[in-house]
Amino acid sequence: MLIVHHLRRMGLSSVSFSLADGECMAVQGPSGAGKSLLLRALADLDPREGEVSLDGKSWDSIPAPQWRRQVVYLPSEPGWWSDYVIDHFPNWKAVNSWLEALSLPAVVKDRTVERLSTGERQRLALVRALALEPRVLLLDEPTSGLDNKTTCAVEQVLRECLTMGTSILWVTHDPAQARRVAQRCLFLENGHVREEWL
């Protein structure tokens, strides 16, 4: 379980909530409300204050790189540290079923990142995040550039992750998607945060 107690950072007022194993909570709010700032703070990527714990262990007791392997942030525009797709996947075989489920052809393995479409890059970045077997996934609009069919495929893969116990915070601008994937929502507006049932 992820417990967030008075998390604060520049641009965001105090946030408190908990996220059970296998639970998905949507994050919504107008553009510029601080949704990405919240996810970045939870991934311990920026200066922050407050107490966050995972399975009873405070983030202050866990080195940041180790925390980020368990609490994995998937930005809306993911970064790539090599030109070649394959370099991002130490065990390509292990990700085959996700590639198939997300309609990514096996040939992407031999491609350079820049030759992929925006939607292919977005799905591949999700697969890269899943390969880390995170305890918590922080997803920043993971289906923003995708058609309806591919969006459904992404939602289905993530539902399976939830059943395996992964917890998900899912930023979306689509209220219908929020209702499909989550029962609760953190709503951010004017720097303030409130929790709502969907």
- Of residues 42 through 61, those in contact with ligand ATP by CB under 6 A are 46
Please state, in angstroms and rounded to a whole number, the distance separating the CA atoms of residues 18 and 136.
12
Residue in 23, 25, 36, 120 binding ligand ATP, rule: CB under 6 A: 36
Q: Is 117 in the site for ligand ATP (CB under 6 A)?
A: no
Nearer to ligand ATP (CB atom), residue 147 or residue 189: 189
Sequence-ordered list of residues with C-beta below 8 angstroms from that of 47, at least 6 positions apart, any chain = 9, 10
Write the DSSP assignment of 121-166 as a string of letters: HHHHHHHHHHTT--SEEEEESTTTT--HHHHHHHHHHHHHHHHTT-
Closest CA to 161 of 183, 139, 143: 139
Place of tokens 């799905």: 123
Closest CA to 124 of 159, 172, 87: 87
Residue in 7, 24, 37, 52 binding ligand ATP, rule: CB under 6 A: 37
Q: Is 10 in the site for ligand ATP (CB under 6 A)?
A: yes
Nearer to ligand ATP (CB atom), residue 15 or residue 104: 15
Q: Which stretch, 24-32, 56-64, 67-75, 101-109, contacts ligand ATP (CB under 6 A)?
A: 24-32
Residue in 6, 18, 32, 58 binding ligand ATP, rule: CB under 6 A: 32
Interaction site with ligand ATP (CB under 6 A) = 10-11, 29, 31-37, 46
